[in-house]
């Protein structure tokens, strides 16, 4: 587990890495156990792309995050990758377009056993960018 070198005011999971593991999958890793219900809710995730919206990206680089541009059920699904509560797979219905920069932006993911977090789940040390393969 990577320990972030700063004090946090809220106790919430922070995305430590997002990496493409298959043509249509991204593995997300959090720094602590996440609440399963909030971690697998698609509406808690946005993916930016430098090439505009596509089968993997729900929002353009310059646009604000909103409920209307979060990931949708017709685009993907999220499942736990193991029993750790820290690893989750986003599986897209189509392949992720290659040679494009993507930024994964999770919000509202609670710590296991908690509820009510309303902020971002990424930080200055999150490795939440990847290039489509």
So where are the chain's domains? Answer: 15-131
Does this model's pTM top 0.85? yes
- Bridge partners of residue 15, in order along the sequence: 30
pLDDT along the chain (133 residues), means of 10: 54 96 98 98 97 94 94 97 98 97 98 95 96 96
pLDDT at 132 (0 to 100) = 97
- What's residue 4's pLDDT? 52
* Burial profile 87-117: b = 16 or more Cβ within 10 angstroms, e = fewer: bbbbebeeebeeebebbbbbbbbbbeeeeeb
Q: What is the reported pLDDT for 14?
A: 97
Any idea which fold 15-131 has? Immunoglobulin-like (2.60.40)
pLDDT at 11: 85
Q: Quick one: which H or E segment has residue 103?
A: strand 101-106
């Amino acid at each position: 587990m990577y320990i972030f070198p700063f004090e946090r005011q809220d106790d919430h999971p922070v995305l430590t890495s997002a990496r493409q593991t298959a043509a249509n999958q991204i593995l997300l890793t959090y720094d602590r156990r996440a609440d399963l219900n909030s971690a697998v809710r698609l509406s808690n995730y946005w993916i930016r792309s430098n090439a505009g919206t596509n089968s993997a990206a729900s929002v353009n680089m310059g646009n604000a995050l909103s409920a209307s541009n979060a990931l949708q059920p017709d685009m993907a699904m999220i499942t736990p990758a193991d029993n750790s509560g820290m690893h989750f797979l986003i599986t897209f219905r189509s392949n992720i377009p290659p040679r494009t920069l993507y930024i994964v932006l999770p919000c509202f993911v609670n710590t296991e056993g908690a509820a009510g977090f309303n902020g971002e789940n990424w930080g200055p040390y999150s490795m939440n960018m990847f290039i489509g393969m």
